[in-house]
Structure 1
Amino acid sequence: MSGRDITEAVRSGHLLRLRRDRYARVPIDEDVAEAVRVGGHLSCLSLLKSMGIFVLVCTGLHVQITQGTSRIRKPKFRTTRLHWNPVRECETIHAAHLHDALRQAIRCQSARAALATLDSVLHHKLMTLNQLEGVFSTLPARYGVLLSLVDPTAASGPETFMRLILRALGLRYETQVHLPGVGYVDFLVEGWLIIECDSKEWHEGWDKQVEDRHRDIAAAKLGCVTIRPLASEILHDSARVRESVASVIEVLGPRFMPDAVRNSSKTRSSVSCTRAKATILAKLEEL
């Protein structure tokens, strides 16, 4: 396009001028537009959230600024966070490299939230474990504890948080277990307790409620008890959920024989909380 063509497109509203030599077709995502207007790239929690990766909380815009960039404009909002000195060169005009976005997101969140983000990246196959190790090689050594806890079988943020709750309780559990007549369940704990991490997104509507009830009855026929803590409570009131799970185990645990259920399950992964893993959890609390 010639300069005259660009000027006419801006006047007619077909193009939006963000900054010098930076134009966007209308409509454009507001976060992307603001990041480019400031002089940077959409990054960190803002970029990951836009990609469908789990982010617990993102209250402001995150923008990556390359060192040496001139004429940085003042952000419109006080909550905007500017990140400097990326490791990887940006592949697009508007978005940071995933490596840098994830590296920044690890440092901008609590340890548990960061772990849920890491699980989500692996689950969606946006990175391999080796590539994730490359991200951690650019972080302080203390963050390495997170890498030892990642699990790509976690299909959602609440599942990551629940996994940490079960580890803290020292319970044996299996993730994404297939039970005859039931299908896959999120967690099978001590061979008899099924925990489903229900969220409004995936369990809304009467048809879904009917399906869940049929699954619970089928599980009961196998000798399993099913509990469904709300995703919102798992994420924001983990102490209450942990207390509830511990109470169920204490009251009902002695009545169940786990071997029959465990032998009939087809599991993708099985984890037992050892003393070493308990030590890892303690380090997680320190981050």
Structure 2
Amino acid sequence: MAIFIVRHSTTYRYEREVRLGRHQLMARPRDSFDQRLIDFSLDVTPKPSEVRWLHDVFGNCVAHIEFDRASDYLRFDCEIKVDHTPENAPDFRIEDYAKDHPFTYHDEEAPDLAPYVQRWFSDPEDHVGRWLDTFLTRGTKRPTGQLLMTLNEAISDGFAYDRRTAPGTQIPSTTLELRKGTCRDFAVLMIEAARSLGFAARFITGYIYVPDRDGPVWLGGGATHAWCQIYIPGSGWVEFDPTNGIVGNRDLIRVAVARIPSQAIPLFGTYWGSREDELGMNVEVNVKTASALL
């Protein structure tokens, strides 16, 4: 068990005062048996006229933040304290019928899982399938857990991480062509590959703890992150982080789950002004253990 403390700050600057519109924030971690939210605080500058919390269709906590003023500066500061219980090794307790792949989800679960099995990105030339064929023999019986770990490792070992400032997520065929991408790109590639094999898979956004950066100084000690979960009968939704080759929740702090990446954007909003008014955005994220700050 570990107590993680997250500080997440996002700052927007503008050439002149612009009228601020609604902003939507996803930063409050999800409560679960392996992750308990101890405390969460949000400070917004300038002061908003209203902050309204709601649950979206996936049960994520979402803040709608309204403003009644103009400003040349906008800042969101979140501080989070989470009690985290890591799974240091995958514990695949798989139902007998699903121990080997391919298998079919049981009738009572299949309707609820169907949206997560359906592929989202068009792939008429089957780029994902042809990539899978380089290390898997599709249609051949294989242990389910072994197959998924192989897929996770194929992305972790075969692609280069490339920080990209442009918004959005690459389509899987682009990631396969470039052999590089961001954590969101790798999560999407794994999701689409798993779905092509008949698995239910969903997108996760949150934070990652980086042990090598831990310490008493609040500087570069973590990052926002994206990975995926795959539904395995008997084990439920299991975490796979293809960027780092992690299976299970070790060092991962879940904030939001979604069917596709555009449903889990940490922060976005509007303003009234010209495109040239925007001077840029700065994001600072630190994830520390409480013990390192003593």
TM-score (ref. length: structure 2): 0.21
Bigger Rg over Cα: 1
Higher helix share: 1
Q: With CA pairs under 8 Å and 6+ residues apart, which has the higher RCO, 1 or 2?
A: 2
Q: Which has a greater percent of strand?
A: 2
When the two structures are superposed, what TM-score results if normalisation uses the length of structure 1?
Answer: 0.21
